[in-house]
Amino acid sequence: MLFGPDLAARHEEWARLFVTLFARRQQEPDDLVASFAVGGLARVLGNWLSGDLALPRDELVDRCTGLLLAVQRSRV
């Protein structure tokens, strides 16, 4: 296990909070789309932090911001 039960519980709590915040910013709140966006962002950031995604920080921020805004505007 990468982290213990306490950290896992905090991770889950923060993930739920970010999903809720993201969903509220959509014109038509959708927990599925928000979960997809937040989960995808978490994966990208994890890959970047581990060195598996070779991008300069500024480019990472710009591209992730663009992707999140595109998902937020979409009506999937």
Convert the pLDDT of each residue in 13-45 to its tens digit: 888 888 888 888 777 778 888 888 888 998 999
Domain map (residue ranges) of the chain: 29-76
Task: Give the chain as a 3 state SS string.
Answer: CCCCHHHHHHHHHHHHHHHHHHHHCCCCCCHHHHHHHHHHHHHHHHHHHCCCCCCCHHHHHHHHHHHHHHHHHCCC
Q: What is the pLDDT of residue 30?
A: 81
pLDDT in tens, 50-75: 999 999 999 999 999 999 888 888 76
Position 1 scores a pLDDT of 46
Residue 33 near residue 18, CB atoms below 8 Å = no
Tokens of 13: 């709590």
